[in-house]
Amino acid sequence: MTMHMNDWIDVGAVDDVPVRGSRIVRAPEGDIAIFKAADGEVFALRDKCPHKGGPLSQGIVHGRSVTCPLHNWIIDLETGEAMGADHGCSNVVALKVQDGRIFMDARRLAAAFA
Amino acid sequence: MTEKLVVIGNGMAAGRVLDNVFETAPDRYAVTVFGAEPRVNYNRILLSPVLSGEKAFEDIVTHDDAWYAANGVNLRKGVNVVAVDRAAKTVTDSTGAVTKYDKLLVATGSNPFIIPIPGVNLPGVVTYRDLDDVNAMLAAAEKGGHAVVIGGGLLGLEAAAGLAVRGMKVSVVHLMPTLMERQLDAAAGYLLQGAMEARNVDVITKANTKAIFEQDGRAAGVLLDDGRTLPADLVVMAVGIRPNASLGKDAGLAVNRGIIVDDEMRTSDADVFAVGECVEHRGQCYGLVAPLFEMAKVIAARLTDDPAPRYEGSFLSTKLKVTGVDLFSAGDFADGPDRDEIVLRDAARGVYKRLVLKDNTLIGAVMYGDTADGSYFFELVKSGEDVSDIRDTLIFGRTFAGGASADPNAAVAGLPASAEICGCNGVCKGTIIDAIGAKGLTDINGVRAHTKASASCGSCTGLVEQILAMTLGDGFQKAKVEPMCGCTDLGHDDVRRLIVAKELKSIPQVMQELEWKTSCGCAKCRPALNYYLLCDWPQEYTDDSQSRFINERVHANIQKDGTYSVVPRMWGGMTSPSELRAIADVADKFAIPAVKVTGGQRIDLLGVKKEDLPAVWADLNNAGMVSGHAYAKGLRTVKTCVGTDWCRFGTQDSTGLGIKIEKFMWGSWTPAKVKMAVSGCPRNCAEATCKDVGVICVESGYEISFAGAAGLHVRQTEFLCKVATEDECMETIAALTQLYREQGRYLERMYKWSVRVGIESIRAAVVDDAAKRRMLYARFVLSQKTAQIDPWAERVAGKEAYEFAPIRQLDLAEAAE
């Protein structure tokens, strides 16, 4: 059993994440980046590029991917996988949106930092 | 008994009526035609090709002497009718002879409108109406010199283009802001102006002619009401036409602007018809050929007892007959709240198409550059059919609407060898084909090198490639432009040109108009587009922070561990105890782990946490410091030595000049970073000769050099020029920077740009051409008006605060399972 009432953690409003941009959820284990694509859909990844650990939240969001600010790896927002010739994965955290609020799956949070 | 038909006028309308009458009832009438001109009937709308030399008069004759003879038409060449007696049913001509009629057709056409200004009756002033006018223009053109065409409508422009081909220096003076404003919208009028100018025709709009002045009894020039004078050996008055209705009026027919006719084309006298430009039908007078032909059909039917056809007015379409200028308009293309428009622009090919829709029908079309579908759109306008089903692809024309597909090379293949392909350099099709054959050319660069075609503005590149394809067949491989990124096939230069030409003012608009392959671009194209838009529309474009690389988005440099470095500006490398104290305090307060002196004479605070940035900036702002833009594709530093203030060798105040330059130029965005330096003497302690722009002070002034580098590549600067004063120095540097801003590809350093476009072309624009330099300078100054806002202060004040704070901080309990 979890220690709180709900397995879904309210991390903020969809409107608080800029379109084609991102915000960070600061967790004790590390940062989670919440991205919002041009069409308004939100995604969450561990904020750490599989390449050299760059903060993906600081990258440019385009389509359903983000380009890491350090060395331009492109990461798929849906899978966390590096695209193109690069290989690696940044763990995805499950999200759901309800009434304009973003909820993160608490049960899967720890796994993201595994 | 044969009836007598008398026709007054021998123009296109009259000719067409007779053609139609003889087709159905060849023997019904004994016809007499009075023609004011001493010649047979000809196609007046092809006078322009005669003027330009593309056709001879014989080529445009529609009814020759043999035709008149074969149809028993008594043609009275050069004879005017001076009076009509409707009671007696006779006409009296200029020879005094009286001719009887049963039916009379008035086809007196129109007269050129002459604006009532002094000098219009001088020798050397002509109108553009008939072959005599063309001959008068040709005679004048033979002597060369200047021609001024008053009127930038259809006729005026055709006359201007023809006279330019004949070697005259031609200016068109037009009252309205854009050419052919009755047939074209402003965008097409603008393209047309460019095309006319490429044909060496000067276009002066918003110009009201006040007088034509004389010298030695002849027209010598035109005076505009703003005081400007234009020299002219020939003045062509082409401001419009007026129905020639005076004979009808004298005959007692109902006349308003023109001779009033009903839907049967009858005048107020049932036995008298009128046709063409002399008539007024439902309040409308026409000056184009299509309505004339429709009227002619109705009159011929009446004259041959067919009661059915009626004339109910015409939709108009216009084509300009200037070789190489494709222009078409039809219907009503004004804006309106109840109207939609579909616009297609292809700036590289000089194509503009605009369709105006109302209630799901096409009501107007304007096309420039590619008019192949003109007749298709015109038919849709006339039919008024519902276009909802084909609306998505309507702008692409008949091909996409299921009709026959066109051969893309057909248009060029159909041009004569003399057709001009490259307007900038005056290269015609034949020259290009000859060069391809003689020099064995296989690509666009070869054609550019040997003929100069497409070597200037490049807008004819598509045409030249079509000629290559046509001439070489499969042997031609189209040159590949390095695309900007995977989102488009267009290169940086094309994108940039299209942004300006199509007036694209936002990233989504660019992507839409230029057919981006991705929904919102990528990390390569978005920052480039953001820069291009910011540079090209400085007053209008709103910076898109999400299209900025992180450093420019948060105004600090990201480090490998995700922290940031902060570099405040130190103007010209000068600082003070209070600034240094503030920096020290900030470093202590925020536990900034590293403080370093940079190569650009300032101090870098490394390892600042992102959340701390606004607070760090606030403290630095309070001490009077602003962002040093150490992260920017923009002006970084202006490094200086101490100059005459301290140095025993210094020749000028290099520190002062460096500070002035930095204060003037900070905040400007450029394709890549720009570093500058000012050294007080040729010993060059500020290392100005490896900067993007460097100034070396000497006793007699300032030596400006540019395009140096000391990074991935090491390059000494190139000498640009030497100037005497600080002001000239500032103007030159700003102009140089502006040229680089306008021409440089995103991320292309100044030294790479200079190699690509050539040092000489830069020197020509910035040094040799004072007017161009001042224009560049002015554009830089304009851009700076909105650029010099300290981004740190903005963020201290709360701008984009979401950038610097987590959306949520989870505590252990929440995060734990």
Model pLDDT for residues B588-647, shown as the tens digit of each residue: 999 999 999 999 999 999 999 999 999 999 999 999 999 999 999 999 999 999 999 999
**Is the CB of residue A55 less than 8 Å away from at least one CB of chain B?**
yes
Q: A26, A34, A49: best mutation site toward chain B, by most B Cβ within 10 Å?
A: A26
Contact assessment for residue B353 and residue B223, using Cβ atoms and an 8 Å cutoff: no
Q: What residue of A is the nearest CA neighbor of B508? A: A38
**Is the CB of residue B550 less than 8 Å away from at least one CB of chain A?**
yes
Say whether pLDDT at B424 is over 60: no
Identify the CA nearest to B415 among candidates B365, B458, B471. B471
Query: Any idea which of B230-234, B359-363, B554-558 has the lowest mean pLDDT?
Result: B359-363
How many helices and strands (H and E) does chain A possess? Answer: 1, 9
- Tell me whether residue B414 is exposed, middle or buried, using C-beta atoms within 10 angstroms of its C-beta: 0 to 12, 13 to 18, 19 or more: exposed
CB contact under 8 A, B546 and A18: yes
Q: Which CATH class is domain B326-401?
A: alpha beta
**Dihedral sign of CA atoms B713, B719, B720, B723 in order:** positive
Task: Quote the CA–CA distance of B688 and B770 in Å, as a whole number.
Answer: 25
pLDDT digits (tens, 9 = 90+) for B327-362: 888 887 777 778 888 888 776 677 888 898 988 899
**Is the CB of residue A4 less than 8 Å away from at least one CB of chain B?**
yes
Q: B519, B550, B554, B803: best mutation site toward chain A, by most A Cβ within 10 Å?
A: B550
Protein fold of B3-110+243-303 = FAD/NAD(P)-binding domain (3.50.50)
**Is the CB of residue B549 less than 8 Å away from at least one CB of chain A?**
yes
Query: Which is the CATH superfamily of the domain at B125-239?
Result: FAD/NAD(P)-binding domain (3.50.50.60)
Phi/psi of residue B150, nearest 5 degrees: -95, 115
Reported as half-sphere exposure (CB side, CA atoms, 13 A), residue B458 has a value of: 8
Q: Examine residue A29 and state whether it is found in any structural domain, yes or no.
A: yes
Q: Which pLDDT belongs to residue B458?
A: 54
Domains B326-401 and B552-632 share a fold: no
Say whether pLDDT at B794 is over 70: yes
Contact assessment for residue B233 and residue B147, using Cβ atoms and an 8 Å cutoff: yes
For B654, residues 6+ apart whose C-beta sits below 8 A from its C-beta are B640, B641, B642, B643, B644, B678, B679, B680, B686, B695, B697
CA of B804 to nearest chain A CA: how many angstroms apart? Answer: 9
Q: Which pLDDT belongs to residue B252?
A: 94
Task: Quote the CA–CA distance of B788 and B103 in Å, as a whole number.
Answer: 80
Confidence of residue B194 (pLDDT cuts 50, 70, 90): confident
Say whether pLDDT at B657 is over 50: yes
Residue type, A35: F
Task: Quote the CA–CA distance of B83 and B251 in Å, as a whole number.
Answer: 7
Confidence of residue B186 (pLDDT cuts 50, 70, 90): confident
**Is the CB of residue B480 less than 8 Å away from at least one CB of chain A?**
no
Phi/psi of residue B386, nearest 5 degrees: -70, 125
Task: Quote the CA–CA distance of B347 and B38 in Å, as a whole number.
Answer: 47
Reported as half-sphere exposure (CB side, CA atoms, 13 A), residue B119 has a value of: 23
Q: Examine residue A1 and state whether it is found in any structural domain, yes or no.
A: no
**Is the CB of residue A38 less than 8 Å away from at least one CB of chain B?**
yes
Confidence of residue B1 (pLDDT cuts 50, 70, 90): low
CB contact under 8 A, B527 and A60: yes
For chain A, percent of residues with pLDDT exceeding 70 = 95
> Token digits for B752?
């790479």
Own/partner pairs, B189-196, CB within 8 angstroms, 24+ separation: B191/B350, B191/B352, B191/B368, B191/B369, B192/B157, B192/B320, B192/B325, B192/B327, B192/B368, B194/B350, B195/B322, B195/B324, B195/B325, B195/B350, B195/B423, B196/B157, B196/B160, B196/B161, B196/B172, B196/B322, B196/B325
Contact assessment for residue B335 and residue B354, using Cβ atoms and an 8 Å cutoff: no
Nearest to A4 among B522, B562, B814 (CB): B814
Q: How many CB atoms lie within 10 A of CB A69?
A: 22
Q: Which pLDDT belongs to residue B754?
A: 94
CB contact under 8 A, A31 and B814: no
For chain B, percent of residues with pLDDT exceeding 90 = 62
DSSP sequence for B295-341: HHHHHHHHHTT-----------EEE--BTTB-EEEEE-----TTEEE
Say whether pLDDT at B455 is over 90: no
Domain count, chain A: 1
Q: Examine residue A22 and state whether it is found in any structural domain, yes or no.
A: yes
Say whether pLDDT at B289 is over 60: yes
Q: Which pLDDT belongs to residue B323?
A: 67
Give the number of beta-carbon pairs within 8 Å between A and B: 105
CATH of the domain at A83: 2.102.10.10
Q: Measuring CA to CA, how many Å separate B574 from each of B361, B457, B508, B788?
A: 69, 45, 43, 20
Q: Measuring CA to CA, how many Å separate B588 from each of B28, B638, B730?
A: 111, 28, 39
Nearest to A24 among B523, B806, B811 (CB): B806
Domain map of chain B by residue range? 3-110+243-303, 125-239, 326-401, 410-475, 492-548, 552-632, 635-789
Contact assessment for residue B699 and residue B651, using Cβ atoms and an 8 Å cutoff: yes
Nearest to A16 among B523, B546, B807 (CB): B807
**Is the CB of residue A111 less than 8 Å away from at least one CB of chain B?**
no
**Is the CB of residue A5 less than 8 Å away from at least one CB of chain B?**
no
**Is the CB of residue B816 less than 8 Å away from at least one CB of chain A?**
yes
**Is the CB of residue B66 less than 8 Å away from at least one CB of chain A?**
no
Contact assessment for residue A106 and residue A8, using Cβ atoms and an 8 Å cutoff: yes
CB contact under 8 A, A34 and B518: no
Q: What is the mean pLDDT of chain B?
A: 89
Contact assessment for residue B81 and residue B14, using Cβ atoms and an 8 Å cutoff: no
Task: Quote the CA–CA distance of B629 and B11 in Å, as a whole number.
Answer: 73
Beta partners for residue B255, in sequence order: B259
Query: Which is the CATH superfamily of the domain at B552-632?
Result: Sulfite Reductase Hemoprotein;Domain 2 (3.90.480.10)
Task: Quote the CA–CA distance of B558 and B105 in Å, as a whole number.
Answer: 86
Q: What residue of A is the nearest CA neighbor of B810? A: A27
CA of B530 to nearest chain A CA: how many angstroms apart? Answer: 13
Reported as half-sphere exposure (CB side, CA atoms, 13 A), residue B198 has a value of: 27
Confidence of residue B451 (pLDDT cuts 50, 70, 90): confident
Q: What residue of A is the nearest CA neighbor of B809? A: A26
CB contact under 8 A, B522 and A9: no
By three-state DSSP, how is residue B398 classified?
helix
Q: How many CB atoms lie within 10 A of CB B474?
A: 6
CA of A24 to nearest chain B CA: how many angstroms apart? Answer: 5
Q: Which pLDDT belongs to residue B394?
A: 85
Confidence of residue B410 (pLDDT cuts 50, 70, 90): low
Identify the CA nearest to B30 among candidates B227, B303, B214, B280. B303
CA of B631 to nearest chain A CA: how many angstroms apart? Answer: 13
Q: Which pLDDT belongs to residue B290?
A: 76
Q: What residue of B is the nearest CA neighbor of A28? A: B812
Looking at per-residue pLDDT, the higher value among B201 and B194 belongs to: B201
CATH of domain B635-789: 3.30.413.10
Q: Examine residue A104 and state whether it is found in any structural domain, yes or no.
A: no
Confidence of residue B375 (pLDDT cuts 50, 70, 90): confident
Chain A residues with CB under 8 Å of B523 CB are 59-60, 62, 67, 72, 74
Task: Quote the CA–CA distance of B496 and B532 in Å, as a whole number.
Answer: 7
**Segments forming the whole domain that contains residue A42:** 8-98
Crossing angle, helix B492-501 and helix B525-536, to 10 degrees?
40
Q: What is the mean pLDDT of residues B462-467?
A: 82
Q: A4, A10, A20: best mutation site toward chain B, by most B Cβ within 10 Å?
A: A20
Say whether pLDDT at B404 is over 50: no
Phi/psi of residue B345, nearest 5 degrees: -130, 140
Identify the CA nearest to B185 among candidates B378, B361, B330, B322. B330
Query: Which is the CATH superfamily of the domain at B410-475?
Result: BFD-like [2Fe-2S]-binding domain (1.10.10.1100)
Q: What is the side-by-side order of every strand in the sheet holding B234-237?
A: B125-127, B234-237, B146-150, B169-173, B201-204
